[in-house]
Structure formats: C-alpha cells, structure tokens
Amino acid sequence: MKQFISRISLVVRDYDEAIEFYTQKLQFGLLEDTPMSETKRWVRIVPPGHQEGNCEILLAKAVGEEQEKTVGNQSGGRVFLFLYTDNFDRDYQNLLDQKIRIFREKSVEAFGKVAVFKDLYGNLWDLIEPAKSENKEENNEIG
C-alpha cells in the first residue's frame, strides 16, 4: 500500500490577502486559483523548490462563525506547519526583511537550525534547515 498527504487546508480570512502574503512575502508559488462558485475558489500554493508529489497548501476561505474562529489558530497555538529549507540564513533574513513576526528567535538544535514565525493570521510555522547528516533518520526525516 502506498499513501501520502497531498494537500493541507489552511483556513484564511480572505483569498486575495492570503495569496499576496504567501506569494509576495514568503515567495511561494501560486499553482492554481480556480473559481468554484460566487464565493469559493480552489487556491493551491507551494513553497519555492516544490517538487511534484510534495504536499501542497490549499487556501480555504472561512465560511461562518465556527470556521472564522479557527483562522490563525488551526492547531490550538502549537506550531502548525514545518517549512524546510536548504538555506536557513537566506530565508530567515527574508522573514526579517518582509517584517514577518518572529515568535521564537533562531537557534541551533540537534536536528538543525530553527526559528518560529507567524503568518499573516498568526499561525505558527517552523523554519528549519536540517542538520547535515548521512543518516536521515537522525534528522527525524522519513526518506
């Protein structure tokens, strides 16, 4: 059996402001923005360097009071998404240059370099450059 996670829905307040934040500030690519109805769109974004088959983010506009309460807090205040990078210093500097809110300053841990930042709604993200190692399992990666 082979399974994988194709997409993760990220509940947003507004499609256009979310697209602008992710594509302009985080330099994500916009794969698709297809109208589904008067109010619903199918919006897929991916980080730079995305490869076919990797997980995508589906921006899903909150509808109704219950969903609106989850915007910015989909994981109950825990880190929600983990953005791996091949160049931590470059991408951390981009966060600073774009005035993205840093929640936990950069540090070096056994698994690599890490910092926690907030997206435009307050969701927590880890920016991680894994430690260099011959053994991927040591870096908590599944390969």
Alpha helices in the chain (DSSP H): 15-20, 64-68, 88-97
- d(CA 12, CA 73) in angstroms, rounded, equals 10
| Contact assessment for residue 93 and residue 129, using Cβ atoms and an 8 Å cutoff | no
Residue owning tokens 């899903």: 60
- d(CA 117, CA 79) in angstroms, rounded, equals 9
| Percent of the chain scoring above 70 in pLDDT | 93
94-108 tens-digit pLDDT = 999 999 999 999 999
- d(CA 8, CA 91) in angstroms, rounded, equals 22
- d(CA 132, CA 73) in angstroms, rounded, equals 32
| Contact assessment for residue 79 and residue 116, using Cβ atoms and an 8 Å cutoff | yes
pTM for the model stands at: 0.88
Q: From its phi and psi, is residue 74 left (phi > 0), alpha (psi between -120 and 50) or beta?
A: alpha
Alpha helices in 10-63 (DSSP H): 15-20
35-72 tens-digit pLDDT = 999 999 999 999 999 998 899 999 999 999 999 999 99
Residue owning tokens 């809110």: 101
**Domains by residue range for the chain, with CATH:** 1-70 (3.10.180.10), 72-143 (3.10.180.10)
- d(CA 73, CA 124) in angstroms, rounded, equals 8
